[in-house]
Amino acid sequence: MNPLKFMESRLGRFSPKYRKLVLRTYVVTLRLVLTVAFPSMVAGIFYALIGKREKQYAAFLRGSKTWGTAVIKMTKTNLVLKNEIQIPEKGHMIFLNHVNEIDFPYDCLVVNKPYLANQVIKKTLIAYWWMKAMGSQVFETSKAATIAVSVRNLLKGLSTTSYIVYPEGHNSYSEIIQPMQKGMVKLAYENKIPVVVVLKSGITTYQTEPMFAKVGYKFIGRYEPWTHSSWESFRDFLYETMSKEKIALDSEIGTVREPVSSKSK
């Protein structure tokens, strides 16, 4: 799909300022690939050719961090880490709130782990290629057979890494935590995969003002699904915990939870 048409279909309700920022955020990756991220890409391709997958993923992950740094510089953002972001090297699903198109580069910088993405990512060719190159997986849900394959691939991948997961299932365009979707929560519960929660605040600022945002990240905790009586109980616990901690983080950062509408007039 043409990137401009894809952006228009997704962001037509937002202001021209926000749409321009999203375009700049993704176009800048082309410059990064040819400059500061180039050595990481070359190293990653080399390791891929000789079959060193873990080193390949590590190289592309290093390159992905440059995206977050570039967006901070481009938007003059104040990025605040409220505590140590303790990301387990492997075996965990990392649950983050998903706000809008601008949080991807920050997640790459702060969390810096592969994603467990849905099929939509396939529509963005360059992003899809780089995400796959850094060890991300696309969780196919089109039919039972593809789900089974995706689960097997996930469990295999967890032996060497942890994955970023967006349990709300979609962009919220809001600072308010949305209800947890069944899929990833149930998957974690049934396969006894521990979950780490990290929250972000301030990303909605970009929807009304593309410059001088204050964005905060905070490590919330590690949780064991099997200590709950059912996946529904675990889902409710996660939702309540993330909602409560998000309110606290917003207060610490000074984030307006429901900013003025960014729709075009």
Residue 172 is predicted with a pLDDT of: 92
- As a whole number of angstroms, the longest Cα–Cα distance in the chain is 54
Asked if the model's pLDDT at residue 264 lies above 50, the reply is no
Instruction: Assess contact for 204 and 103: CB atoms under 8 A.
Output: no
Listing DSSP states for 145-169 in one string gives HHHHHHHHHHHHHTTT--EEE-TT-
Tokens of 89: 């090297």
DSSP one-letter code for 98: -
Burial of residue 2 (CB within 10 Å: 0-12, 13-18, 19+) is exposed
Residue that wins the pLDDT comparison between 181 and 75: 75
- pLDDT tens-digit map of 162-178: 999 999 988 899 999 99
Answer whether 0.95 is exceeded by the pTM: no
Asked if 177 and 97 count as a contact pair (C-beta separation under 8 A), the reply is yes
Contacts of 5 (CB under 8 A, 6+ apart): none
Q: HEC states along 69-93?
A: HHHHHHHCCEEEECCCCCCCCCCCE
Calpha distance 172→108 (Å, rounded): 19
Q: Are 137 and 113 in contact (CB under 8 A)?
A: no
pLDDT at site 261: 44
Tokens at 71, concatenated: 């967006």
Split at pLDDT 50, 70, 90, the class of 42 is very high
Least trusted range by pLDDT, from 41-50, 126-135, 139-148: 139-148
DSSP assignment letter at 222:
E
3-state DSSP call for residue 115? strand
Rg (CA), the chain: 18
pLDDT digits (tens, 9 = 90+) for 173-202: 999 999 998 889 999 999 999 999 999 999
- The answer to whether 10 touches 259, Cβ cutoff 8 Å, is no
- Whole-angstrom distance, CA of residue 200 vs CA of residue 216: 5
Q: How much is the average pLDDT of 112-130?
A: 72
Question: What share of the chain in percent tops pLDDT 70?
Answer: 87
Query: Can you list the alpha helix ranges (DSSP code H) found in the chain?
Result: 3-11, 16-34, 38-49, 53-75, 103-110, 125-133, 144-157, 182-190, 231-253
